A and B are shown apart, each in its own frame.
Chain A
């Protein structure tokens, strides 16, 4: 049976649907220009289970669980559920850690970069340029034989572990579990972590997007990579559809469009670090073979190597906040506009992350057999 979602029309429709749902989720309560942000939402999950104590970004985001479970269910139903593992596990974990550190320096994953742009946030442009720079470096490595090696088929049960983890997180949310007084699960009372759509709406949107993204192979990093690598605009047409649809929804339907650089929601104007943060994230995504959204989808299909990348991102979020690496948004303090951005440790982490990725890119090479 032909997979219509993987056709050109299919990927455009999928991009447009995601572009429509994200602003809707914002309208229904998710943070501004953050209808869906894989990095931010994984960071919120890290906070909810106590891996960091930044009390404004703690929530068990059902969208993330929905992506994995939706992908898992649809992959099962369409015989694409294939447990696999064994491709440079620890490297993938640390690529996830540094990808998250980079994303939290910019304050968003590529999906949110698009949604920020669609909401009028000009800082997204510097971020997206950084993303392109990082992916371009990744493509150079790929052209020179970069490879993390093969994955191998695993037992059927192996692929259940990650979806089961996500289901457990969702149950913690549904039953509002508290493990000790004043302890986890933490839920933000203020800030972005306190802003969310109804959990069933979020889960439903997540499941639906997880399903269509699994069938269409939607990937923001892949979109840019394929243009740079092979002048292939297939995935990019879906990403463009997301951007245009999100803009139209923000502008005409929800009045959520507000153009400019300053005073943008959960964003900062430290341009150099917006650029470099996303350069690091883009390079890490390219070396790991998928944007954070795609990694969740593949984890749902049974790819343990993607699962470990996601776990790396969640742990990375914990480190980013515990070690003061994550950026602070611009804010107005006592009527003075204060530029956010990152401190010394955040800057060092970005540089170390870039060096780590470069070393991986140069050393993990296979002789091209073709």
Chain B
């Protein structure tokens, strides 16, 4: 189950992290987070790693797609 995607582009700090944390605490095993700034990318990755999950980053134009998985 991987289709889930969180679109956090353009949201102010710390909303991308809040949404990521929420997805993880609701048992999300594998999902993508979309952000469009380095700051959000760094923050989301830090949050993911703190939850002992893996974050894989792809760049898509101006956006970053962070694939979160166990």
Contacts and interface: CB of A to CB of B under 8 A. Distances in A.
Interface of A: 3, 6, 80, 82, 84, 87, 142-143, 147-148, 150-153, 217, 219, 222, 225-226, 229-230, 232, 234, 288-290, 305, 368-370
B66 interface: no
A305 B62 CA distance: 19
Contact of B10 (A150, A219, A230): A150
A219 B36 CA distance: 20
Contacts of B12: 87, 147-148, 151, 288-290, 305
Contact of B62 (A6, A143, A153, A232): A153
A150 B6 contact: no
Given A229-B17, A234-B46, 7 more contacts: A142-B15, A150-B10, A225-B14, A226-B14, A229-B18, A230-B47, A369-B6
Contacts of B6: 369-370
9 contacts: A6-B42, A82-B62, A142-B14, A143-B18, A153-B36, A217-B42, A229-B17, A230-B21, A290-B12
B11 A370 contact: no
A343 B41 CA distance: 45
Contacts of A148: 12
B37 A82 contact: yes
A229 B21 CA distance: 10
Interface string B7-45: 101111111011111110010100000001111001000
Contacts of B47: 230, 232
Nearest to B24: A370
Contact of A222 (B7, B13, B20, B23): B13
Given A82-B37, A217-B42, A234-B46, A290 B13 contact: yes
Chain B interface size band reads 20 to 34
Nearest to B33: A370
Interface of B: 6-7, 9-15, 17-23, 26, 28, 36-39, 42, 46-47, 50, 62
Contacts of A370: 6, 19-20, 22-23, 26, 28
B38 A80 contact: yes
A80 B15 CA distance: 20
B10 A151 contact: yes
Nearest to B6: A370
Contacts of B15: 142, 147
Contacts of A222: 13-14
Contacts of B22: 368, 370
Nearest to B39: A217
Contacts of B38: 3, 80
A221 B19 CA distance: 19
Q: Which of A3, A147, A222, A370 has the most CB of B within 10 A?
A: A370
B31 to A, nearest CB: 8
Nearest to A286: B14
A3 B14 contact: no
Contacts of B36: 82, 153
Contacts of A226: 14
B50 A289 contact: no
A3 B42 contact: yes
B3 to A, nearest CB: 13
